[in-house]
Amino acid sequence: MNKNLKKLSLIALLIASTVACKKSDDPAPSSSGTTTLQGDLTGVTNLTADTKYLLKGFVYVPNGSTINIEAGTVITGQVQAALIIEPGAKINAIGTAAKPIIFTSSAAAGSRARGNWGGLVLAGNAKVNTATPTSKPLCEGGIRTQYGNDVSADPSVDNDNSGTLKYVRSEYAGYAPIPGSELNGITYAGVGRGTTLDHVQSSYANDDGMEWFGGCVNGKYLINFAAIDDDFDTDCGFSGKIQFGLAMREQYISDQSGSKAFESDHDPNAGTNGPNTTCQFVNMTLIGPVVSMADASNANKPSKFAATFISGIHIRRNSSLSMHNSILMAWNNGVLIDSKTGASGVTTANITSGSLKMHNNIVAGISKNCPNANSPTFGTDNHKYDVVSVLNGAGDLTVVTDQTFADSTNLTWNDGTTTFTGPNGWFYHSSANNNKYQSDFANLLNMNLKNAWTNMTFDFTMPSGSPAATGGNFSAVVDTDGFFDTTPTYIGAFGSTDWTTSWANFNPQITNY
């Protein structure tokens, strides 16, 4: 063999060795020390806490692939960047209270803003009511991913496993390439109950904090903080169970489409295709934009807030969302049951059938009930705007007016012995529902809301003697698999322990990553 041939053979051997040693699970760092993630991450990808990562564009984990993320890892994103876990793929993002996994803006501390990056998307194979035997829906936000299965699919698809999010934060996400097709803080599309959601926070999202498109994934200890649109948005047949959840709104930040803590649809057209939207939320604390019920700086009236806040809860388009053992407080309006007319897909009919349930909840400090501190007098059972049923012919109300709210007698409901008229009759005046009213929100939290926002320091536990300390009851909760923790006797997401401590961040603007 001549020298040139030997050299070529040696070069070929070195190249082959180099290729053989390069692992698909070790993304190569750039000269800046930051590893860029882009395109498709096939095979097994491992992200470690000693490396900084940057998402560039839409980053997909395709079918059959897995991304493992070590506790304490920080992944940043550029504008329009997103991490998408496609059906058949898995994400194992398992942080700890001391070392949460963080998805956040690539901007420096002090210059971050909502929409700095696209968001996190989990897409699975569970049932959704917008799928057919021959077609699957496409994820919103301009991404390529189809998801879900139709109602006729084998029941095993609902056990689909997209991985684990545990002690994970998403900050400053949200991207809307076209109106009505957005990425959220975190999107769950057709995600199955084999997936684990445990201690997950979305903050400062440029659309919804979290949105579910069908599927049946369950979750505990979920936070949506300072989103611009809705906090917990449920659509397209979502039937999962959520326990211990927190939502909190900024006073003057809301979306032009109308912002709420819950927005729930059966599907976009108030249809009747299965599966039905029958999600259950238990032990929730939903805090609205009202920071004071008697604000000296506002002529002793409830504090001002952005005009595009609609209500704390908006159930529409034939949804059967249910809520138990929860607190809805500091909103302008309470629960809006928005129903179309006709014989099919009527949201109010889900109340009379018993599929839409509200039990053992406290509605407190609904500002429209208290135009000032003395009229009506605090303590008076005047709650016209706590629960309102509206028949507007479309089931798609986005603008709420006093004239609309005056229509509060279109719902009649029988608890088996007595017929009640009007939405407040259903909500309050049946002992079977056991919901309670409070004209302000005193003694529900160990903090003054106005001061908490000023100091950016929050304590969500309840004070001694709180009316929420007792009254929790699980008799109306549907729990065939034992998912719910039925030991709490309190109402709301917190007893004496603040489970947000150490891992959640309510002011990431000042955090250096």
Q: What is the pLDDT of residue 343?
A: 72
Q: Is the peptide bond before 27 cis (omega within 30 degrees of 0)?
A: no
Residue whose pair of structure tokens reads 């076209």 in the numeric block: 178
Distance, CA of 121 to chain centre: 13
Cα–Cα separations (whole angstroms), residue 150 to 140, 191, 193, 247, 494? 18, 13, 16, 31, 37
Can you tell me the distance from the alpha carbon of 149 to that of 156, in angstroms, rounded to the nearest whole number? Answer: 11
Residue whose pair of structure tokens reads 């917190």 in the numeric block: 494
Can you tell me the distance from the alpha carbon of 480 to that of 483, in angstroms, rounded to the nearest whole number? Answer: 8
Residue whose pair of structure tokens reads 């949460």 in the numeric block: 100
For residue 244, which of 213, 201, 297, 195 has the smallest C-alpha distance? 201
14-46 residue pLDDT tens: 333 333 333 345 565 554 579 999 999 999 999
> What are the residue ranges of helices labelled H in 237-339?
none
Residue 373 in tokens: 């501190």
Q: What is the pLDDT of residue 461?
A: 98
Residue 45 in tokens: 């990808």
Q: What is the mean pLDDT of the chain?
A: 89
Q: Which residues contact 208 (CB under 8 A, 6 or more apart)?
A: 174, 182, 184, 185, 224, 227, 229, 230, 231, 232, 233, 263
Residue 135: left (phi > 0), alpha (psi -120 to 50), or beta?
A: beta
Q: What is the pLDDT of residue 407?
A: 41
Q: What is the pLDDT of residue 300?
A: 86
Ranges of the chain whose pLDDT falls below 70: 1-32, 341, 373-381, 391-411
Can you tell me the distance from the alpha carbon of 52 to that of 60, in angstroms, rounded to the nearest whole number? Answer: 18
Q: What is the pLDDT of residue 20?
A: 35
91 touches 164 (CB < 8 A): yes
Residue 18 corresponds to which amino acid?
T
Backbone phi and psi for residue 186, each to the nearest 5 degrees, phi listed first: -140, 135
Q: How many residues does the chain have?
A: 513
Q: What is the pLDDT of residue 478?
A: 97
Residue 24 in tokens: 């698909």
Q: What is the pLDDT of residue 164?
A: 99
Can you tell me the distance from the alpha carbon of 440 to that of 224, in angstroms, rounded to the nearest whole number? Answer: 23
